[in-house]
Structure 1
Amino acid sequence: MAAAAATMTAFHSYSPQQQQQHQPPQSQQPTDPPQLSKKPKTILHKNPLYTPLPSKLSHQFKEKILCLELMGIDSGKALSSNPLIHSTPLTSIHTIITFLQSKGIYQKDLPRIIGMCPNILTSNITTDLIPVFNFLSKDLNIPDQDFRKVINKCPRLLVSSVKDQLKPALFYLKRLGFHDMGQLAYQDCVLLVSNVEKTLIPKLDYLISLGFSKPEAVEMVLRCPGLFTFSVDKNFKPKFEYFEREMKRDLNELKSFPQFFAFSLEKRIKARHLQALECGVEVSLPVLLKSTDEEFAELLRECD
């Protein structure tokens, strides 16, 4: 809170008159050629969004940009991603920042959090933000001092509807067997901002389509929750195709080691498989993929 207040104080104390006071005497200033405009004096003039506007509106808009930049926020990206910032009073933005800091969010966290979710700056504290923190506290049993850890892990929580997104996702995950609220909050909270109908269910269905029973597919995502975050087209399909056609492994190996899908296809899966194939070595998927480069090289040497 102190940092935000200092930023706002410094911002409000800045004025055109002070700028003039800090300019060198006229005799020391170089004379600009008549056809050239004067060199920009502040970060506001350099910002690509800066355009001459009616004096009052221009001053307010430039103040807003300066405030965001002083906090380390990319004002251009924020304004582009969330045009509502244009018409949002600076006092409202300050109030939201102060509220976030009252919940344990540090000043240094804001550039990343707001950079990922600029809509935070135009949210409503009462109807949007407070329900999220109540959800973390009551539904996930997160103590107040750990709010920062969870929000930094997944800033999208702050722009997710508790009623329409967070609670339905939590309900679905609990039905599947996710009962460790600590792990869900501190490690896998991105699942809570995943759409149940469009993201979670289709990925589970895809695993079932590979030949796993539903209980087997559920067990796989419980062992490796990251499966719910992988793209079907860009991750599952090419990796399973390589597993089936080139590696010719048994499906039970994937059931036992679903983390297979978390490794890079080109840099780890293919590379390690081809090395082992060349040496005539066949090892389990965990040994093939989880071993360090040194351990894997030693394994190949031992089998020569």
Structure 2
Amino acid sequence: MPTVSGAIALHSSLCTISSDKPSLPNHVYVATKPKNLLQNHPLYTPTNAKLSIQFKEKILCLEILGIDAGKALSQNPELHTATMESIHSIISFLISKGIHQKDLPRIFGMCPKILTSNIKTDLNPVFYFLLQDLQVQDHNFRKVVKKNPRLLTSSVINQLKPALFYLKKLGFKDLAALAYQDSILLVSNVEGTLIPKLMYLESLGFSKDEARFMVLRCPSLFTFSIENNFQPKFEYFDEEMGGKLEELKEFPQYFAFSLENRIKPRYLEVVESGIHLPLSVMLKSTDEDFRELIKKGGG
């Protein structure tokens, strides 16, 4: 993959395309083969034959940077009118913040909206939030952004600060954990996502403090679907396993395991062996350790 500076230089040459072959270094020109690459690209169908040369250059440059141009344009229509100069400024800005070129395809692939962000009003506030509110040192920006590119498309005022305030109120005090491990919570809607998960846990019979304790023990509970995760797993736990709420309070990670691939098969083996295993031991044990436990219990 060409370097960012190389790709930018390439675009500068492409922007002056005429009927003559662009004057590019041989090693770069091989990667751009005038018409074949453009004609064979899925976006260049006969119905798109009248695409402007500037638009074609944009697609080509995005692809050279390792970005799926078709997907990016589909998910972010604003890219259709964005200039390559503005896109290059976004890339240069991220590089200046410690992001590596090899990270860009994944970052832009997950969040094409970043490509049309405003550096002053959108991106700079996020990095200031990371530095001031989450106490992330600038040399660690890359680690945080790689983990969760959605941070760069989130409003600091309307999303990140309210989420951080709510999480702190719940008892999340480890800023490093929020930044490097659980940053998905910061881009989750407080009223639409976080609060409903707590309310659901309370509806199962847990007190407010118990529900809060559970999410502090297992922050990923905030990321699980009520319909597709909580409900079926709790129903199995309650109706088939005859479990007690106390067990889930002590081991909320239960909801993080696959119902079909882990919970059901292991529980059935435990029942068949006639032994009793704590919920955490039954699910957290490696396959080898679990087999050994079953073997000893059955013996």
Q: TM-score, normalised by structure 1?
A: 0.90
> What displacement does 1:19 show?
6.5
Q: Cα RMSD over matched residues?
A: 1.7
Give distance in 1, aligned partners of 2:93 and 2:197.
Answer: 37
Which residues in structure 2 correspond to 1:48-197 (within 5 Å)? 48-50=42-44, 51-53=48-50, 58-197=52-191
Give distance in 2, aligned partners of 1:214 and 1:226.
Answer: 18
Where does structure 2 lack aligned partners over 5 or more consecutive residues? 26-33
- Of residues 220, 229, 241, the one that matches 2:214 is 220
How many equivalent pairs are there? 283
Give distance in 1, aligned partners of 2:41 and 2:77.
Answer: 16
Alignment deviations for residues 276-298 of structure 1 (CA, whole Å, 9 cap, x no partner): 11111110011100000000000
Q: Does the 8 Å CA contact 2:111/2:149 hold for their aligned counterparts?
A: yes
Divergent runs of 4+, >6 A: 19-22
SS, match of residue 99 in structure 2: coil
> What displacement does 1:47 show?
2.1
Alignment deviations for residues 146-165 of structure 1 (CA, whole Å, 9 cap, x no partner): 00100011100000000000
Partner of 2:31: none
Partner of 1:260: 254
SS, match of residue 178 in structure 1: coil
Give distance in 2, aligned partners of 1:243 and 1:41.
Answer: 61
> What displacement does 1:5 show?
1.5
Where does structure 1 lack aligned partners over 5 or more consecutive residues? 23-39
**In the superposition, relative to structure 1, how do residues 21 and 93 fare at CA in structure 2: closer, same or farther (>3 Å)?**
closer
> What displacement does 1:44 show?
1.8
Q: Does the 8 Å CA contact 2:13/2:22 hold for their aligned counterparts?
A: no
Give distance in 2, aligned partners of 1:112 and 1:43.
Answer: 23
> What displacement does 1:41 show?
4.0
> What displacement does 1:11 show?
3.1
Give distance in 2, aligned partners of 1:45 and 1:209.
Answer: 58
Give distance in 1, aligned partners of 2:93 and 2:22.
Answer: 31
> What displacement does 1:265 show?
0.3
Larger Rg: 1
Q: Does the 8 Å CA contact 1:279/1:303 hold for their aligned counterparts?
A: yes
Identity among equivalent positions (%) equals: 62
1:17 pairs with 2:11: no
Partner of 2:264: 270
Task: Output the amino acid matched with 2:253.
Answer: Q
> What displacement does 1:10 show?
2.2
- Of residues 224, 227, 232, the one that matches 1:230 is 224
Partner of 1:32: none
Q: Does the 8 Å CA contact 1:257/1:286 hold for their aligned counterparts?
A: yes
- Of residues 185, 199, 202, the one that matches 1:205 is 199
Q: Does the 8 Å CA contact 1:47/1:76 hold for their aligned counterparts?
A: no
1:3 pairs with 2:6: no
Q: TM-score, normalised by structure 2?
A: 0.91
> What displacement does 1:48 show?
2.4
Give distance in 1, aligned partners of 2:181 and 2:222.
Answer: 13
Give distance in 2, aligned partners of 1:4 and 1:20.
Answer: 19
Q: Does the 8 Å CA contact 2:131/2:138 hold for their aligned counterparts?
A: yes
SS, match of residue 146 in structure 2: helix
Task: Output the amino acid matched with 1:52.
Answer: A
Give distance in 2, aligned partners of 1:64 and 1:274.
Answer: 57
Give distance in 1, aligned partners of 2:139 and 2:57.
Answer: 33
Give distance in 2, aligned partners of 1:45 and 1:222.
Answer: 54
